[in-house]
A and B are shown apart, each in its own frame.
Chain A
């Protein structure tokens, strides 16, 4: 499902992101990372609950690259010249919208769950 409608409403209409993809995007939002670093960061962020295998990670990365949510570049600081990944403007906007959606849901749930004043 390619994503072309970049408006807020357009993004909002789509289904929520899967947890694995959301964590990959959050991991890349902080700084560009290479494959192993993404795996470790996702594990850390989810307290070990989400453990991606190498095959799953690269399936996701390939898909995100094709949808132009992320881009690949050669790390210059690394002596080995490893490939690293970073968010594109489109990826950042989708992440921002998803976070907005989650915030809205959390706020709504907190309001509904709060004990009613007598």
Chain B
């Protein structure tokens, strides 16, 4: 895991690696030795978070290198703005009204064409109602519910386990 994390540093642009690469390797080494003292599950979760952070960071740095400058969204120093004004551009409602008008006109035109065409002599058979079977549908829903429930339980169990472990560590730390 430690080696993999260090390899992930190669995903960063060369300029970033030159500036921060050595420091980041050092921090990763210290992080891994810290994770080694924890349980297996916590170690996996924390290592996964580290790798995710590295992947995200590398992607952001490449974006920045491609654009030539950083943008506010890459690493938001400040909180995301709450916009009080109208969320869409002002032209959007106008455009939507024009589109709605065009759709209504198209429906009217289609109706006019339908009326202008003489009816064919061929008889259309009556439409049969679809057979709806209740039992298989309920069975399918039940199975899907079980699968979703099992996944949710597994996630909650993993979170609880890591949370309990962290709480215990915190308590142990406070006792010392």
| Residues in A lying within 8 Å of B, measured CB to CB | 1, 14-18, 21, 34-36, 39, 47-48, 51-64, 66-67, 82-83
Contact = CB atoms under 8 A, between A and B. Distances in A.
Contacts of B26: 35-36, 82
Interface string B69-81: 0101011111101
Contact of A58 (B24, B31, B52, B78): B24
B51 to A, nearest CB: 8
Interface in B96-132: none
Nearest to B76: A18
A53 B60 CA distance: 14
Nearest to A56: B53
Given A54-B27, A56-B57, A62-B16, 19 more contacts: A1-B78, A16-B79, A17-B77, A18-B77, A21-B78, A36-B27, A39-B27, A47-B170, A51-B49, A54-B31, A54-B54, A55-B55, A55-B58, A56-B56, A59-B57, A62-B20, A62-B75, A63-B74, A63-B77
| Residue among A14, A18, A82 with most chain B CB within 10 A | A18
A66 to B, nearest CB: 7
Interface residues on B, range: 20 to 34
Contacts, number: 90
Contacts of B20: 58, 61-62
A58 B79 contact: no
Interface pairs A-B: 10 shortest CB-CB: A53-B53, A55-B57, A55-B53, A15-B78, A55-B54, A35-B27, A36-B30, A59-B75, A63-B75, A1-B72
A37 to B, nearest CB: 9
B75 A60 contact: yes
A116 to B, nearest CB: 30
A54 B28 contact: yes
Given A17-B78, A18-B78, A82 B23 contact: yes
Contacts of A67: 77
Contacts of A58: 20, 23-24, 57
A82 B31 CA distance: 16
A61 B166 CA distance: 27
Nearest to B71: A1
| Residue among A39, A53, A57, A67 with most chain B CB within 10 A | A53
A65 to B, nearest CB: 9
B77 A54 contact: no
A64 B47 CA distance: 25
A87 to B, nearest CB: 14
12 contacts: A1-B77, A16-B78, A18-B79, A35-B26, A48-B170, A53-B57, A55-B50, A57-B27, A58-B20, A58-B24, A59-B57, A63-B70
